[in-house]
Structure 1
Amino acid sequence: MKMRFLGRTCLIVLSLLPAVSTQDGSSVVGSDQPLIASPGEDVILPCHITPSLSAVDMEVRWYRDSFNNPVHLYEDRTDWKDVQDSDYRGRTALSRLGLQEGILSLNLRNLRPSDSGVYYCYATDGDWDGQGKTELIVRALGTQPSISMDSTQGEQTRLVCRSEGWSPEPEVIWRDRDGNDVTSLSSTTVQRDSQGFLSVSSYIKIKQQSNVFSCLVRSKTPKPDWESKLHISSEYHMFVD
């Protein structure tokens, strides 16, 4: 009788081991490449558990700067919108079918320039947890730059290059008529409007002599550039290309 009882006890203990160690070796994976999209578009921020593992009964949390201010929180099979960052309410969703296969990807709708940044994807079942990340760049190509003169009595004349509607902040490059980069002689200011788009104004001082200046405003992520040139005659007659 004793031998028979011990044998059964061993079998019961062994049968519990796989359930305890199911998540061993699993990890949460985001994207190693930035995701680039335009304002107004919908995107899916990729994230999944590997090897594949159901996340239906897990806590799945997407956040940016603060863990406690989630972009999206799924827990107890519910999307908790009352604790969600107010900037994202009504714009996020997780796929219930995807969760069954360990797909934690976040659907983010109607992109805004302010959505640019690094997003963290966190999952836990209470005993196990993992985290991945994905970078999102919301890119907008701004307006054709305009160049004008800014002259204040008693001060050296300056050229002003302006462009608006950018995301993220663009790069401004000045060149003289010989193609020399004279950006180091300029100063640039950046302002953000109510929709999150950026406007740039770049200033460079000029001498009273004939010259040609070009102002190039370009995205720091691959995209066509905008360039304008200003021809300055010795009498300060201006011709803009």
Structure 2
Amino acid sequence: MGEPSMKWLFLLLVISNLGVFGWFNLVAVNKEAAAEPVYAPPVSQKILTLSEVPKVVKKPEPTVKEIEFKAVEEELREITEAFEQLSSIDADQMFCPHIEFEKEQDKRAFLPQIDALGWQYVESKMEGQRQKFWLYISAPDTREQANRIVRALKVRSVDSFIINRGEMKNRISLGLYSVALTAEKERLRISDLSGFDVRVFPHLRKVPLSVIEISQGINESEWKKFISQINFGKMMIKLEKNPC
């Protein structure tokens, strides 16, 4: 075989080797590419079908009654805590009572009880505001109509009078009360008795007050024993436990 033939044979062997080497490299790259997971989930995570997806149980919304019960429960807890704080007050802690009387007869009935105990006190006068409840019938169109209403009430033994001044002119006044419950009872009684529309007007009114300041220190047990012996009834008084 001649020298040119040997050269061509050698060249063909080199080309063949390069082709085989390239082929194996291409196969290896394809295998690595195929082995690499693209957007695959982690091995430890299970892919669930639609039938296997667990149902999410929603917590039911609280009902109105449950909300109201919780609010009442919270309020009772606060009241209990406040009561426990009051109960923890030292029974021997001293204070000086402050007593206000709207009516002189109430003061005259009250003072002998204090005098019997020998408690020292100072008496004074002042003016204060108190809640009052006025009963009335709205003003009719004319004065004559107002007079007829007053006469009709008098027949039924209901005291009344006609207001003559200002914006309330011709209104029929039925009295002033210091206790809301008493005013409401009277309103219903007069309304049922007369057939008229009786109304209540609550308001604050300045009233003269008699004040008793007990200057001698009193403890809690002494004070409770004292007020338990008083028949307050319809007394219009205000009691305060002020520090001495």
- Shorter chain as denominator, the TM-score bin is under 0.3
Q: Which has the higher helix share?
A: 2
Q: Which has the higher strand share?
A: 1
Alignment TM-score, normalising by the size of structure 1: 0.19
Q: Which has the larger radius of gyration?
A: 2
| Higher RCO (C-alpha under 8 Å, 6+ residues apart) | 2
